[in-house]
Amino acid sequence: MTILSLSNLSKSYGRDCALDAVDLEVTAGERVALLGHNGAGKSTLMKLVLGLIDRTQGEISVAGHAPGSPVARALTAYLPENVAFHPALTGREQIRHFLRLRGANPREADALLEKVGLADAARRRIGTYSKGMRQRVGLAQALIGSPRLMVLDEPTSGLDPVSRREFYALLDELAATGTAILLSSHALSEVEARTDRIVILSKGRKVSEGTLGDLRAEAALPLTVSLRARKGFEAEVARAFPEAQGSGALLVLTCPQGAKLETMTRITDAAEAIEDFDVVPASLDDIYAHISRRAA
């Protein structure tokens, strides 16, 4: 079931186009990551989905409701980027307030804060919290109730690696119960195993969409093969792989996706002369950089 659907969505600030004709659908239980460099339009897209800003053009539907309508707001949880709270309030007071606004029982505040690891700091003022702790308060409020749609703008910024893993585990639980999740991030490597689909924005346009495998195939970046020649066989290896770079025992060559098997055969043929070899596919961040650069 489609929870969030955007069609031909655009947003301009004066003459600058922050978002340009973006189409996107997120279904129940799906985790979609929004990637893009600074100023690509990720936060703009999310604010449009929440109805915080008005669109210039296009359609948005949140489970069939207009963005920003009371029903849509009740169905949606939001974690803004650089989430902030009034420093004079305690974490507990703030979460209790948010629970009341959603018509939930304020007593659930302690359980929520415990879930994000803030049980000990719950009675302290948010002004005394660290950056990561404030981010956790933000996460706690996004977990209130059982939202149909979660919109999380750079949810893991400020979290340490262990907390990040815990956070994605929480998301997995929610997705399993049918929550549609749209989150933004700067690192493809971080979201790779944790999302079902990746959408890459560049200068306000959607330049790519798909699973990690799809993106890998689309970028078609060559693999890197490194070879170490046996002592005394350096010249022989260099002759067998004339395209390889490097000197002495260590040689490096690139291999297009389609030529993997062929290269393997050549390595096997020269097995006598080769002591060791490594095949490294293009890194996720290489793929990401390639796709967003190609679009620019």
Partner 1 sequence: MFTRILSTARLEFAIALRNRWVAIAIAMMALFSLVLSMAGSAPTGTLGADRLSVTVASLTSLSVYLVPLIALLISFDAVAGEVERGTLPLHLAYPISRGELLLGKLLAQLCVVALAVTLGFALAAGVAWMSGGAEVLTGLPALFRLIWTSVLLGAVFLSLGHAMSSLSRRPSGAAGLAIGLWLVAIVLYDLGLLAAVVADDGGAFTTRVFPWLLVANPADAFRIFNLAASDAVGAASGLAGAAHAIAAWKPLASLIAWPVAAALLARLAFGRVQP
Ligand X SMILES: Nc1ncnc2c1ncn2[C@@H]1O[C@H](COP(=O)(O)OP(=O)(O)OP(=O)(O)O)[C@@H](O)[C@H]1O
Site for partner 1 in 2-61 (CB under 8 A): 47, 50, 52-54
Contact letters for ligand X, residues 68-87 (x by CB under 6 A): -------------x------
Q: Return the range that interacts with ligand X (CB under 6 A); candidates 20-28, 38-46, 237-245, 270-278.
A: 38-46
Query: Considering CB distances under 5 to 8 angstroms, the limit depending on partner class, which of partner 1, ligand X, Mg ion, none binds residue 147?
Result: none
| In the complex, least distance from residue 201 CB atom to ligand X, rounded to whole angstroms | 7
Radius of gyration of the chain (CA): 24
Closest CA to 241 of 258, 231, 229: 229
Q: Which of residues 40-59 bind ligand X (CB under 6 A)?
A: 40-44
Please tell me the distance from the alpha carbon of residue 186 to that of residue 289, in angstroms, as a whole number: 11
> Which residue number, 48 or 225, has a Cβ lying nearer to partner 1?
48
3 state SS for the chain? CEEEEEEEEEEEECCEEEEEEEEEEEECCCEEEEECCCCCCHHHHHHHHHCCCCCCEEEEEECCECCCCHHHHHHEEEECCCCCCCCCCEHHHHHHHHHHHCCCCHHHHHHHHHHCCCHHHCCCEHHHCCHHHHHHHHHHHHCCCCCCEEEECCCCCCCCHHHHHHHHHHHHHHHHCCCEEEEEECCHHHHHHHCCEEEEEECCEEEEEECHHHHHHHHCCCEEEEEEECCCCHHHHHHHCCCCECCCCEEEEEECHHHHHHHHHHHHHCHHHEEEEEEECCCHHHHHHHHHHHHC
CB nearer partner 1, residue 1 or residue 88 = 88
Partner in contact with 109, chosen from Mg ion, ligand X, partner 1, none, beta carbon below 5 to 8 Å by kind: none
Question: Which range, of 37-45, 160-168, 259-267, 283-291, touches ligand X by CB under 6 A?
Answer: 37-45
Largest CA distance in the chain: 77
Give the residue, chosen from 5, 28, 39, 238, that forms a contact with ligand X under the rule CB under 6 A: 39
123 lies in the binding site for partner 1 (CB under 8 A): no
Q: From Mg ion, ligand X, partner 1, none, which one binds at residue 70 (CB under 5 to 8 Å depending on kind)?
A: partner 1
In the complex, the smallest distance separating the C-beta of residue 79 from partner 1, rounded to whole angstroms, is: 8
How near is the Cβ of 16 to ligand X at its closest, in Å?
6
| Residue among 88, 162, 176, 271 that touches partner 1 (CB under 8 A) | 88
Mark residues 1-30: x for contact with ligand X by CB under 6 A, - for none: ------------x--x-x------------
36 part of the interface to ligand X, by CB under 6 A: yes
Q: What tokens were used for 18?
A: 């922050």
List of residues contacting ligand X (CB under 6 A): 13, 16, 18, 36, 38-44, 81
List of residues contacting partner 1 (CB under 8 A): 47, 50, 52-54, 70, 73-74, 76, 78, 80, 82-86, 88-89, 93-94, 97-98, 100-103, 138, 141
